[in-house]
């Protein structure tokens, strides 16, 4: 998933993403009517070199 750029998910069923979910080049994240309390842990800064 390192090259994933865009996620649109209606009613994402979990309260967070899996711990191994670390998209490096994510540009857009749209979560509607989901159960999120926390997106993911770890680095959240965007870097072009990552």
The pLDDT of residue 10 is: 92
Q: Is 50 among the domain residues?
A: no
| Domains of the chain: total | 1
Q: Is 14 among the domain residues?
A: yes
pTM over 0.85: no
Q: Is 23 among the domain residues?
A: yes
Q: Is 46 among the domain residues?
A: no
3-state secondary structure the chain: CCCCCEEEEECCCCCCCCCCCCCCCCCEEEEECCCCCCCCCCCCCCCCCC
pLDDT digits (tens, 9 = 90+) for 15-45: 888 878 777 778 888 888 888 777 666 555 5
């Amino acid at each position: 998933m390192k090259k994933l750029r865009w996620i649109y998910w209606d009613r994402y069923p979990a309260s967070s993403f899996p711990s191994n979910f670390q998209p490096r080049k994510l540009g857009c994240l749209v979560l509607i009517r989901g159960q999120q309390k926390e997106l993911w842990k770890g680095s959240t800064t965007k870097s072009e070199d990552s």
